[in-house]
């Protein structure tokens, strides 16, 4: 059974989303990717945008197909093939001053383990006005229990001075790299104030956001 932490509700006032950090959404032409594409896709992005891994607020959203559901788990074994629809985008999270630099990806073709990704036009999107957020893949200590992972996440949220009502962790997933594998767990954070929800999306949690980990998006099923 999943563990939870609770805190009292916080009243909200009218809120306007800032544009300090945004998602840059690219149209792509890419029929297939490996299900476990975090490392290979990030390598291709870093080669095309050499500044990307050093930009503190830059993050890479991994790509999801129709079988990914609400995002809590990958469709199947990481070694299998992910089939993408024509509407599947590539999304980068960026500080606004880097949007123009990243838009240079348009017209490029990335090679992700032999899968060609043609990058099309892009547009920006504000971060979500949602008080319930989740991170599909938050880097975790492989030896930690569910409760230990959850306590570590709560400690980090407190260090960021964020207010929240509940956190819930999901199943673990392991990703391949040229060195040691990366262990992750999913994390939902509910009952955030809108201001704190934006902060959590801007800051993310944990390491390797430039590799596709630690980014928060709205959880639409809660």
Within this chain, do residues 141 and 57 fall inside the same structural domain, yes or no? no
- pLDDT for res 18: 86
CATH (domain of 61): 3.30.70.1890
Look at residue 222 and tell me whether its pLDDT is greater than 60. no
On whether both 189 and 155 belong to a single domain, the answer is yes
Looking at residues 40-50, what average pLDDT do you find? 98
Asked whether the beta carbons of 5 and 162 are under 8 A apart, the reply is no
> Is residue 85 very low, low, confident or very high in pLDDT (cuts 50, 70, 90)?
very high
> Where is the domain boundary, 99, 126, 153?
126
Give CA torsion, residues 132, 138, 141, 147, to 10 deg. Answer: 10
Same-domain status, 103 and 184: no
Q: Are 5 and 154 in contact (CB under 8 A)?
A: yes
Q: Which residue segment(s) compose the domain that 113 sits in?
A: 21-126
Cβ-based neighbour number of residue 114 at 10 Å: 8
pLDDT one-digit tens code per residue, 212-221: 999 999 987 4
Q: Are residues 119 and 206 in the same domain?
A: no
Kindly report the CATH number assigned to the domain that includes residue 157: 3.30.70.1210
Residue 214 · residue 59 · CB < 8 Å: yes
Residue 15 confidence (pLDDT): 67
| CA atoms of 205 and 10, how far apart (whole Å) | 22
Res 74 pLDDT > 70: no
* Number of domains, the chain: 2
Which one has a higher pLDDT value, 119 or 13? 119
pTM equals 0.86
pLDDT computed for residue 79 by the predictor: 56
Last residue of a domain, one of 109, 126, 143: 126
Distance of CA 83 to the CA centre of its chain: 19
81 shares its domain with 99? yes
Task: Compute the average pLDDT of residues 168-179.
Answer: 93
Domain final residue, candidates 126, 154, 174: 126
Listing DSSP states for 15-67 in one string gives -----SEEEEEEEEE-SEEESS-HHHHHHHHHHHSTTGGG-TT-EEEPP--GG
């Amino acid at each position: 059974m999943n563990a939870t932490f609770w805190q009292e509700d916080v009243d909200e006032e009218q809120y306007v989303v800032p544009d300090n950090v945004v998602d840059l959404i690219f149209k792509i032409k890419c029929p297939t990717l490996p299900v476990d594409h975090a490392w290979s896709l990030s390598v291709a992005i870093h080669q095309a945008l050499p500044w990307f891994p050093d930009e503190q607020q830059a993050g890479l959203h991994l790509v999801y197909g129709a079988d990914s559901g609400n995002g809590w788990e990958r469709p199947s074994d990481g070694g299998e093939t992910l089939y993408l629809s024509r509407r599947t985008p590539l999304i980068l999270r960026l500080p606004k001053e880097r949007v123009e630099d990243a838009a240079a990806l348009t017209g490029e073709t990335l090679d992700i383990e032999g899968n060609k990704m043609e990058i099309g036009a892009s547009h920006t999107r504000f971060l979500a006005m949602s008080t319930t957020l989740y991170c599909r893949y938050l880097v975790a200590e492989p030896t930690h229990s569910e409760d230990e992972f959850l306590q570590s996440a709560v400690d980090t949220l407190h260090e960021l001075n964020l207010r929240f009502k509940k956190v819930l962790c999901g199943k673990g997933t392991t990703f391949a790299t040229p060195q040691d594998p990366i262990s992750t767990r999913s994390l939902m954070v509910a009952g955030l104030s809108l201001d704190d929800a934006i902060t959590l999306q801007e800051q993310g949690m944990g390491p390797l956001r430039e590799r596709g980990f630690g980014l928060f998006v709205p959880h639409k099923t809660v």
